[in-house]
């Protein structure tokens, strides 16, 4: 509303509250009054398992690449097939479709945690939904985007649960940070490659194919993880 038609100004304006909050935190946050004793600093009991960290990052990265890729390239695909009228409904169904599955997973967490099959099921559902989107341009497209959102919600919650499930307490923060670095780097690389493919082919289906390929870590890596307690 403040900058209609100018996405750069809109992005800058939407980022302003974050900068204000950061400035307030930096200036108003209470300062420590003394040096923390060495005995109060927890020491890790073992080194981080970097092999596990990379697997967790790629699993969560598969979910992130679908999220960013869908929001970026689904509108381009619908425009390319002559159905731009479906864009608002498709994006709304995808993004809101994640809410019920997230709540469902949290409600039944004790039954599905520490098991590989929920990850495999969500990955298979993601692939089936992306394939349906790429082959349709109508009501089934909307059904597929809703299903895609539902599956994305499952993989999102399951991915976020991995560090505390598979790490000892002193390691959870470091493993989570490493997982986020790997996952978002993976998702950004996939997004850039998808954009390049779309530009070279002038067909958003090429981006959808690459997004589908990026789901593979969600299908291949969970069976390699021992879902035991820390």
Give CA–CA dist 58/101, Å, rounded: 21
- Number of domains composing the chain: 1
Question: 89: Cβ–Cβ under 8 A, 6 or more apart, which residues?
Answer: 142
State the pLDDT at residue 46.
55
CATH number for the domain harbouring residue 193: 1.20.1250.20
- Secondary structure element (H or E) that encloses residue 72, with its range: helix 50-80
Asked, for residue 195, whether it belongs to a domain, the answer is: yes
Asked, for residue 41, whether it belongs to a domain, the answer is: no
State the pLDDT at residue 172.
85
Question: 157: Cβ–Cβ under 8 A, 6 or more apart, which residues?
Answer: 101, 102, 105, 106
State the pLDDT at residue 206.
95
Asked, for residue 169, whether it belongs to a domain, the answer is: yes
Taking a C-beta distance cutoff of 8 angstroms, is the pair 86, 205 a contact? no
State the pLDDT at residue 6.
57
How far from chain centre, in Å, is Cα 79?
A: 25
Taking a C-beta distance cutoff of 8 angstroms, is the pair 221, 158 a contact? no
State the pLDDT at residue 174.
87
Asked, for residue 28, whether it belongs to a domain, the answer is: no
Cβ-count burial of 67 within 10 angstroms (0-12 exposed, 13-18 middle, 19+ buried)? buried
Question: 200: Cβ–Cβ under 8 A, 6 or more apart, which residues?
Answer: 206
Q: Which residues of the chain have pLDDT under 70?
A: 1-15, 18-19, 22, 25, 28-48, 228-230
Question: 221: Cβ–Cβ under 8 A, 6 or more apart, which residues?
Answer: 55, 58, 59
Pick from 27, 26, 79: nearest CA to 202: 79
SS3 (DSSP) at 52: helix
| Angle (CA) 67 70 76, round 5° | 155
Q: Provide the domain limits for residue 111.
A: 54-224
Asked, for residue 200, whether it belongs to a domain, the answer is: yes
Asked, for residue 218, whether it belongs to a domain, the answer is: yes
H-type helices in 97-204, by residue range?
Answer: 98-107, 109-112, 117-135, 139-166, 172-201
Report the Cα–Cα distance between both ends of the chain, in Å, rounded: 50
Give CA–CA dist 160/172, Å, rounded: 11
Considering the entire predicted model, what is its pTM?
0.78
Asked, for residue 22, whether it belongs to a domain, the answer is: no
State the pLDDT at residue 59.
94
Residue 23: count of CB within 10 angstroms of its CB: 10
């Amino acid at each position: 509303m403040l900058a209609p038609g100018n996405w750069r100004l809109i992005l800058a304006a939407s980022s302003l509250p974050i900068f204000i909050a950061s400035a307030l935190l930096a200036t108003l946050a209470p300062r420590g009054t003394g040096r923390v004793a060495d005995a109060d600093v927890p020491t890790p009991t073992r080194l981080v398992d970097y092999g596990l960290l990379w697997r967790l990052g790629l699993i969560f990265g598969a979910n992130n690449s679908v999220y960013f890729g869908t929001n970026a390239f689904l509108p381009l695909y619908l425009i390319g097939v002559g159905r731009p009228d479906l864009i608002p409904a498709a994006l709304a169904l995808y993004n809101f479709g994640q809410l019920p599955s997230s709540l469902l997973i949290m409600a039944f967490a004790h039954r599905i945690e520490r098991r590989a099959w929920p990850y495999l099921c969500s990955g298979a559902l993601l692939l089936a939904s992306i394939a349906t989107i790429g082959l349709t341009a109508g009501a089934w497209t909307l059904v597929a985007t809703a299903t895609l959102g539902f599956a994305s919600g499952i993989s999102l919650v399951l991915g976020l649960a991995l560090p505390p499930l598979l790490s000892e307490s002193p390691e959870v923060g470091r493993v989570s940070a490493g997982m986020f670095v790997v996952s978002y780097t993976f998702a950004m690389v996939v997004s850039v490659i998808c954009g390049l493919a779309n530009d070279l082919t002038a067909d958003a289906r090429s981006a959808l194919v690459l997004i589908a390929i990026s789901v593979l870590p969600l299908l291949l890596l969970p069976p390699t993880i021992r879902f035991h307690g820390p």
